[in-house]
Amino acid sequence: MTIVVGYIPSPEGEAALDRAIVEAQRSGSRLVVVNSSKGDQLVDDKLLDAREFHLLDERLASAGIDFWIERSSQGSDAAENILHVAEAQRAELIVIGLRKRTSIGKFILGSTAQRIILQAHCPVLSVKVNSGW
């Protein structure tokens, strides 16, 4: 079985990844990390560069799980990418990080998380940065 996690280098992305690693360790599933950017910005910190990719690789290797990192710098947006990977891998679970968005921001730009939750065919676990209490 497979767990898919959407990851970008941000607090939300880290929270999602941490939780996804725990889930993968618990169920012994394969973890697929999806990192993507539409590539329409001149400067984009969401996409992993070679160094960050390497660090992530090391970190997942030391977690003792089976994993794969999907990195795409072009084409479709993050929601589409994650859904596509989840479907192709027949994922049992999608893990995403949530960030705070104003309702106007959501209205204009839409919400990636909302699209994933509504369109996914498997359970979606959404994580907030300060989820522990």
Partner 1 sequence: MDTFNLLMDGFASALTPMNLLFAFAGVMLGTAVGVLPGIGPAMAVALLLPVTYGMETSSALIMFAGIYYGGMYGGSTTSILLNTPGESATVITAIEGHKMAKAGRAAQALATAAIGSFIAGTIGTALLVTIAPFVVKFAVSIGDPSYFAIMVLALITVTAVLGSSKIRGFASLGLGLAIGLVGADPVTAQDRLTFGIPTLVDGLDIVVVAVAIFAIGEALWIAAHLRTTPAKTIPVGTPWMGKEDWKRSWKPWLRGTAFGFPFGALPAGGAEVPTFLSYVTEKKLSKHPEEFGHGAIEGVAGPEAANNASAAGTLTPMLALGLPTNATAAVMLAFLMMKGIQPGPLLFENEPELVWALIASLFIGNTLLLLINLPLAPMWAKLLKIPRPFLYAGILFFATLGAFSVNMQAMDLWMLLLIGLLGFALRRFGLPVLPLILGVIICPMAEVRLRKTFQLSNGDISGLWSEPLAVGIYILIAVLLSLPLWIALFRRLRGKPAVSEDAIAIDHIEVPSDEAGAGSNQPTNTSGLKGSDKK
Residue ranges that bind partner 1, judged by CB under 8 A: 37-45, 47, 49, 73-75
Min dist CB 42 to partner 1, Å, is 5
Angle at CA of residue 35, ends 110 and 59, nearest 5°: 135
DSSP line for 7-22: --SSHHHHHHHHHHHH
Min dist CB 16 to partner 1, Å, is 21
Distance CA 125, CA 112 (A): 14
Min dist CB 7 to partner 1, Å, is 16
Nearer to partner 1, 9 or 129 (CB): 9
Distance CA 38, CA 18 (A): 24
Nearer to partner 1, 20 or 47 (CB): 47
